[in-house]
Amino acid sequence: MTHSDRILMGPGPCNPYPEVIEAFTRPVLGHLDPEFIPLLDEINDRLRAVWRTENLLTFPVSATGSAGMEAAFVNFVEPGDTVVIGVNGVFGTRMCDVAARCGAEVIAVEEEWGRAIDPQRLLDAHTDPKIIALVHAETSTGVRNDIAPLGAGKGDALLLVDCVTSLGGIPMLADDWQVDIAYSGTQKCLGVPPGLSPLTVSERALERLVERPQSWYLDLNMIRNYVTGEGARAYHHTAPISMLYGLHAGLGAVLDEGLENAWARHQACGDALHAGLPELGFELWAQEGHRLPELTTVTLPEGLDDAAGRRALLERYGIEVGGGLGPVAGKVWRIGCMGHTARLRNVAMLLGALGELVSDLRATN
Amino acid sequence: MTHSDRILMGPGPCNPYPEVIEAFTRPVLGHLDPEFIPLLDEINDRLRAVWRTENLLTFPVSATGSAGMEAAFVNFVEPGDTVVIGVNGVFGTRMCDVAARCGAEVIAVEEEWGRAIDPQRLLDAHTDPKIIALVHAETSTGVRNDIAPLGAGKGDALLLVDCVTSLGGIPMLADDWQVDIAYSGTQKCLGVPPGLSPLTVSERALERLVERPQSWYLDLNMIRNYVTGEGARAYHHTAPISMLYGLHAGLGAVLDEGLENAWARHQACGDALHAGLPELGFELWAQEGHRLPELTTVTLPEGLDDAAGRRALLERYGIEVGGGLGPVAGKVWRIGCMGHTARLRNVAMLLGALGELVSDLRATN
């Protein structure tokens, strides 16, 4: 079975760094091999660098980003705990579902999709919640929610942040912002195919681990021995070694470039898209001042059909962009520029292709 | 970071088929790409062929084998349900832990490690359990438990089987044996690196799905729409595309060879190990008549130290074998011969290396 080589400009996955694909071809090691432990340690060190944290418990969960979300809740929520969750898109909504399955009393603080959530509303939602949770970069809307004010004002609560689409793409300063629990995915701004979910947990949060969470696979009490080397390197589950090779290489690419340079590259691509798309009749949809550079949402020029337009991009140019979700399905496109995809040449390619599509449309009308 | 190219003869992972590593390098597709759906469908068809099942809901869970175990319990157990579990090793013990976290009333039917469980004991353990669960191939002991009698005698119960170390290596006839729920891993007899957990669910079990399981990530009510195409191909979570390429290729290698031929190859390697190891002073440890060809357990010749022996194998020959777990830690080795590793040349290599080690040992004593 052969596959087309797409330029992946949807909401993720992105195109992986070439170093990542090369790393996939390395010989497989067992998860207890003496050569594997230093690799895992180095991955965790690199993750600390991109999270900007000193947290000991920082490692990739052996599953995709949504499992990271589940690990973040299931290890800290017990039945009856109050959890305040900001909801302005699909992933805030998913957080409520996951937390409720842990038995949480969820207080959802809702905001219109496409707009950012005022942090003060989350701080005011309850006097003493166990957790305050928010999505940093809403993949469904292209909106950045502000995290820093929550860390400053959280009081005794734990601050839990979804960084799936932010980590490596925009500043995310876990320690400075006093984030307690955060998770991400590999297939966005880290430039690695999907399959792992980086997770980081503060010392403060570690003291409040649920003793026996309902998930065995995601039980941090057991996993921490293996990944941190605090105790024995006790085997928990078989590590997905080839994916870990890929993550190691992707993080290496980001850190060799320099994290600030990677942020700047994502910003430059976002700026170019934000400038170029309106000239073609697309309108930027996310709230001004809270637009993600790595994920741009736009409404379509009059006459451009959602499905037909995306099909033409895919079939004629081999470029994938994403459609809208939920209330804006059919009305909004989500244009990602993340990881190795975040190059000005790809922005130029997309704007060129869209220009041709819009021009063809006008010619036939 | 470079890595040694080990010959992986531990309890898993095995060495992957070359086709698998080649598949990892394919261009990444999005999980909603029109080229991705046929790939997923073909993976699921191939899994049906190796499970010997017609089950509609047959797909790879997006995480390693232990997550398959969790998916198998969490979607079918509600608090208070009676679950009978056979326990004669680490993985039966783990099943009890996972089931208890779902709120099950667990009835553990124990047998000495290294011996097989009499199926009748499981059938007699309770008059009307919701689930009877057993490990087909115990990775911790090298023992094969018999499954067919459980299917014939299960009555109204669902039969749940761990096939992590059996699928692709020894006959596993899901439909003929009336298995309702089974899971496996990719890194054993399927010859793919770890990262996915093939799962299959009978129509009968599908009618008894828990409506809202405690795990969102493993919720089969939602996942079935995406993987079976019964409803819309509604997005659930981002699929681990590169691992799926690898599984597709690994299953292709097994089915191109012919499943019966793959079983015979594993059997021939097991037979050669079972014949050759005793000649070097190792004693076969698992119960006769229930020894797995793909995973051989042995006690060590007098004077051969567990840790030093395994280190010598790894450092001098680049061969990994596994140590014992639990009550036989330090006393037993676990020698895997699975997937692409299951070649007579690797058996010859290991026996040759062990012969040299034993001979050196005698010379120095």
Question: Which of B46, B69, B76 has the alpha carbon at shortest distance from B204?
Answer: B76
Within 78-97 of A, beta carbons closer than 8 Å to B belong to: 94, 97
Residues B112 and B218 in one domain: yes
Residue B144 lies in a domain: yes
Q: What is the pLDDT of residue B230?
A: 78
Cα B10 to chain centroid distance, Å, stands at 13
> What does each of the 365 residues of chain B score in pLDDT, given as a tens digit?
678 999 999 999 999 999 999 999 999 999 889 999 999 999 999 999 999 999 999 999 999 999 999 999 999 999 999 999 999 999 999 999 999 999 999 999 999 999 999 999 999 999 999 999 999 999 999 999 999 999 999 999 999 999 999 999 999 999 999 999 999 999 999 999 999 999 999 999 999 999 999 999 999 999 998 888 777 777 789 999 999 999 999 999 999 999 999 999 999 999 999 999 999 999 999 999 999 999 999 999 999 999 999 999 999 999 999 999 989 999 999 999 999 999 999 999 999 999 999 999 888 87
Q: Which of B205, B234, B257 is the last residue of a domain?
A: B257
**Which of the residues B242, B245, B248, B319 would you substitute to probe the A interface, choosing the one with the greatest number of A C-beta atoms within 10 Å?**
B242
Q: Which value does ipTM take for this structure?
A: 0.97
B84 has which bridge partners? B107, B132
CA distances from B213 to A97, A214, B96, B206 (A): 11, 11, 18, 13
Whole-angstrom Cα Rg for chain B: 21
Q: How many helices (DSSP H) and strands (DSSP E) are in chain B?
A: 12, 15
A319 has which bridge partners? A7
Residue A1 lies in a domain: no
Cα B41 to chain centroid distance, Å, stands at 22
Residues A226 and A266 in one domain: no
Q: Which of A257, A273, A305 is the last residue of a domain?
A: A257
Q: What is the DSSP letter of B143?
A: E
How many Å apart are CA A161 and CA A139, to the nearest integer?
13
Are A25 and B25 an interchain contact pair (Cβ–Cβ within 8 Å)?
yes
pLDDT beyond 90 at A226: no
Contacts of A259 (CB under 8 A, 6+ apart): A49, A50, A168
Show the domain range for B326. 7-12+258-364
Residues A143 and A155 in one domain: yes
Residues A213 and A356 in one domain: no
Are B237 and A65 an interchain contact pair (Cβ–Cβ within 8 Å)?
yes
| CB of B159 less than 8 A from some CB of A | no
How many Å apart are CA A181 and CA A204, to the nearest integer?
10
Q: What is the pLDDT of residue B79?
A: 97
| CB of A108 less than 8 A from some CB of B | no
Within 12-31 of B, beta carbons closer than 8 Å to A belong to: 12-13, 15-16, 21, 24-31
Predicted confidence (pLDDT) per residue in A78-112, tens digit: 999 999 999 999 999 999 999 999 999 999 999 99
Predicted confidence (pLDDT) per residue in B25-60, tens digit: 999 999 889 999 999 999 999 999 999 999 999 999
Q: Which of B235, B257, B279 is the last residue of a domain?
A: B257
Q: What is the pLDDT of residue A2?
A: 76
Residue A65 lies in a domain: yes
Are A6 and B24 an interchain contact pair (Cβ–Cβ within 8 Å)?
no
**Which of the residues A4, A90, A217 would you substitute to probe the B interface, choosing the one with the greatest number of B C-beta atoms within 10 Å?**
A217
| CB of B331 less than 8 A from some CB of A | no
Residue A2 lies in a domain: no
pLDDT beyond 70 at A309: yes
Residues A250 and A339 in one domain: no
CA distance B176 to chain A (A): 30
Q: What is the pLDDT of residue B232?
A: 74
Residue B325 lies in a domain: yes
Q: What is the mean pLDDT of residues A118-130?
A: 98
Mean confidence (pLDDT) of chain A: 96
Residues B213 and B283 in one domain: no
Is the separation of the CB atoms in A47 and B26 below 8 Å?
no
Considering its fold, how many domains does chain A have in total? 2
Predicted confidence (pLDDT) per residue in A38-58, tens digit: 999 999 999 999 999 999 999
* CATH code of residue B350: 3.90.1150.10
Q: Which residues of A touch B243 (CB under 8 A)?
A: 195, 240, 242-243
Interface contacts A/B by beta carbons within 8 Å: 186
Tokens, residue A7: 């330029």
Per residue, the 3-state secondary structure of chain A, as one string, reads CCCCCCEECCCCCCCCCHHHHHHHCCCCCCCCCCCHHHHHHHHHHHHHHHHCCCCCEEEEECECHHHHHHHHHHCCCCCCCEEEEEECCHHHHHHHHHHHHCCCEEEEEECCCCCCCCHHHHHCCCCCCCEEEEECEECCCCEECCCHHHHHHCCCCEEEEECCCCCCCCCCCCCCCCCCEEECCCCCCCCCCCCCEEEEECHHHHCCCCCCCCCCCCCHHHHHHHHHCCCCCCCCCCCCHHHHHHHHHHHHHHHHHCHHHHHHHHHHHHHHHHHHHHHCCCEECCCCCCECCCEEEEECCCCCCHHHHHHHHHHHHCEECEECCHHHCCCEEEEECCHHHCCHHHHHHHHHHHHHHHHHHHHHC
Tokens, residue A311: 């099909």
Q: Phi, psi at residue A291, to the nearest 5°?
A: -85, 130
Residues B267 and B248 in one domain: no
Residues B27 and B130 in one domain: yes
Are A13 and B35 an interchain contact pair (Cβ–Cβ within 8 Å)?
no
Residue B165 lies in a domain: yes
Residues B247 and B322 in one domain: no
Q: pLDDT category, A1, cuts 50, 70, 90?
A: low
Q: What is the mean pLDDT of residues A198-223?
A: 97
* CATH code of residue B196: 3.40.640.10
Tokens, residue A266: 């994502």
Residue type, B32: L
| CB of B194 less than 8 A from some CB of A | yes
Residue A198 lies in a domain: yes
Residues A287 and A328 in one domain: yes
| CB of A239 less than 8 A from some CB of B | yes
pTM score, whole prediction: 0.97
How many Å apart are CA A168 and CA A127, to the nearest integer?
33
Residue type, B322: G
How many Å apart are CA B95 and CA B89, to the nearest integer?
10
Q: What is the pLDDT of residue B1?
A: 67
Residues B246 and B265 in one domain: no
| CB of A317 less than 8 A from some CB of B | no
A8 has which bridge partners? A320
CA distances from A206 to A25, A151, B217 (A): 36, 17, 23
Is the separation of the CB atoms in B34 and A21 below 8 Å?
no
Residues A214 and A276 in one domain: no
Residue B1 lies in a domain: no
How many Å apart are CA A174 and CA A193, to the nearest integer?
24
